[in-house]
Amino acid sequence: MKSLTNRSLQVSNRKMTLMERIYLPAIIGGMFITFKHIFKKKATVKWPDEERSRSEVYRGRHVLKRDEKGAERCTACGLCAVACPAEAITMVSSERKKGEEALYREEKYASVYEINMLRCIFCGLCEEACPKEAIFLTKELMPANYERSNFIYGKDRLVEPTDSRVDVSKRQEPAVVMNKYNDK
Amino acid sequence: MSTLLIIKIVIILVVFGITLLIAMYSTYLERKVAAVMQDRIGPDRAGPWGLLQPLADAGKMFFKEDFIPKQSEKWLFIFGPGIAMFTACMTGAIIPWGGTVTMFGETFNLQIADIDIGILYIMGFVSIGVYGIMIGGWASNNKYSLYGAVRASSQMISYELAMGLAILAVVMTTGSLSLKDIVEAQKGGQWNVFYQPLAFLLFIVCAFAECNRAPFDMAECETELIGGYHTEYSSMKLGFFLFAEYINMFISSAVISVLFFGGYNFPFMYDLGLSANAITFIGVGVFFAKIIFFIFFFMWVRWTLPRFRYDQLMHLGWKSLIPLAILNLMITGGWQIFKDSF
Ligand code: SF4
Ligand code: SF4
């Protein structure tokens, strides 16, 4: 019979030869292999002393972006929460008052925005769903913690600080943006 | 006489301490060897190069909850690890750690007791060691533990036979059961392994089986029996079982070195022109180097070979090792008669 792929192997139930039944040649061969591995380069990365390099579009912890003037972009539309397969996102929306234009870009904003990082699977669907380019995943890793409650990230830890802006240009290359809006 | 007594007590304490120390660091070595053979680094956080890891492990063991299952036989459950540990520590008593030393006006052997049935003593204690596992497994009142215990006992009993026959060949060439005599007979590089290679091979295979080490770790086999006889054990009782295994490994390595690799003898030991005491002390160092090599060898094999299937194990024991051992015995006997008649 002709095989479909070139990966199939012919199996046989033939009796082992005497040489194979003694086991010793195979054992010595195997021990030689393991001995060679002692001198091989180690694969261990000693995190956190060393860090392994991550791509620019690594899907790590989230950031809620501000616009160029420093106002929050999120309009609490809830699309990210709907898109989230892990149901990790919750929010409470509020109306922007007079005089808060510098804080919030849209007339409606999220007064509470929480992501449960224990539920999140870092799939990036929230980033894809957001019509306001407000939420992004970043290169940063999620730090470990002793308390479960500390894994619920609120706006205090999600919104990007005005003095240290997070660069997401690598995630927003023209092709990505085009693709996103042609889909809809 | 009293100085000799004090010296013996000191030797006993030192041997006991060294046994525990080496067993302790075997756990460290085991993890390191496993790691480097799998292209990893292994424990390196506790102290320089992770050297304090065994202490950390012991601390962990001590502070774990010591749980005794309600349906177990309480006293036997406690006895099991005790017997395992006790028998493991007892075997070190007759290993000749070094030659004779002249010090404080006394001449003495670096050996706790040179009894003239040395090998029988070791075989005896090793077979009592099975009881630790058997009792522990049975008292747990758990299917997996019982399986582990049954496997361990049948495995050890079958391999003891081949082991005894392999040793017998060595005993025949030396003409003595005392370990001291066996070592003395191998003076100057005349190691038994060159005269009895088959017996060496049989012995080392049986030693693996007796120590419950991979590829013959049927009694524990994590994947099939979730720990076998020590499934129900926790805290320091589990620690005792595991520790006893490492002590057994150390003693096995010592016995292998004594029987087949000349013990504390090393080549050209009398051509260097050193004093008797110096030769003895170098000999002790050489002996420990041999032991550590064999401990490494045990680990090397463990991290190379997969576990045997149980029927393969029994096949190997009864249908290959024992006939080979008998054949070896006949050849040795024939050679002995042939040699004497000329
Ligand atoms: S990355 Fe995925 S799982 Fe995490 S919050 Fe966004 S949509 Fe939900
Ligand atoms: S982050 Fe984006 S998708 Fe989510 S509520 Fe805000 S604007 Fe909507």
Q: What residues of B are in the A interface, CB distance below 8 Å?
A: 36-41, 300-301, 303-305
Domains of chain B, by residue range, sit at 64-340
pLDDT, average across residues A44-65: 88
pLDDT confidence of residue B222: 66
Within a 13 Å sphere around the CA of A154, how many CA atoms are in the beta-carbon half?
6
Q: Do A31 and B300 touch (CB under 8 A)?
A: yes
Q: Could you confirm whether domain A62-183 is CATH 3.40.50.300?
A: no
Nearby residues of A44 by Cβ (< 8 Å), 6 or more positions away: B40, B41
pLDDT value at position B1? 61
pLDDT band at A111 (very low <50, low <70, confident <90, very high): very high
pLDDT tens, position by position, B235-292: 888 888 888 888 888 988 998 888 888 878 777 767 776 777 788 888 888 888 999 9
Which of A52-56, A156-160, B112-116, B334-338 is least confident? Answer: B112-116
The predicted structure's pLDDT at residue B335: 87
- Beta bridge partners, B108, equal B101
Amino acid identity of residue B243, one-letter, is F
Per-residue model confidence (pLDDT) at position A114: 94
Are B41 and A37 within 8 A, CB to CB?
no
- Dihedrals phi, psi of A119, to nearest 5 degrees: -90, -35
pLDDT at A45 over 60: yes
In contact, B330 and A55? CB cutoff 8 Å: no
Tokens (6 digits) for A10: 């012919």
Q: How confident is the model at residue A123 (pLDDT cuts 50, 70, 90)?
A: very high
Mean pLDDT, residues B132-157 taken together = 84
The vertex-B68 CA angle with B216 and B63, nearest 5°, equals 85
Query: Residue B179 corresponds to which tokens in the numbers above?
Result: 């370990």
**Residue B337, class by beta-carbon neighbours within 10 Å (0-12 exposed, 13-18 middle, 19+ buried)?**
exposed
How many Cβ atoms from other residues are within 10 Å of residue B117's Cβ? 14
CA distance B287 to B303: 25
| Single-letter code of the amino acid located at B214 | A
B181-218 pLDDT, tens digit per residue, is: 888 888 776 788 888 888 888 898 888 888 878 788 77
Which range, of B136-150, B220-234, B325-339, averages the lowest pLDDT?
B220-234
Q: Which of A43-52, B154-163, B219-228 is least confident?
A: B219-228
**A49 to chain B: closest CA residue:** B45
Query: Over chain B, what is the mean pLDDT?
Result: 84
Q: Calculate mean pLDDT across residues B305-332.
A: 87
Q: What is the pTM of this model?
A: 0.81
Classify residue A66 by its DSSP letter. Answer: B
Pocket lining: A82 vs ligand 1, CB cutoff 6 Å? no
**CB B136, CB B241: distance < 8 Å:** yes
CA dist list (Å): B311 to A146, B143, B209, B317:
48, 20, 14, 10
Calculate how far, in angstroms, residue B111's C-alpha sits from the geometric centre of ligand 1. Answer: 69
Write out pLDDT tens, residues B75-104: 888 888 888 888 888 888 888 887 777 777
- CA dist., res. B125 & res. A89, Å (int): 65
pLDDT of residue A183: 60
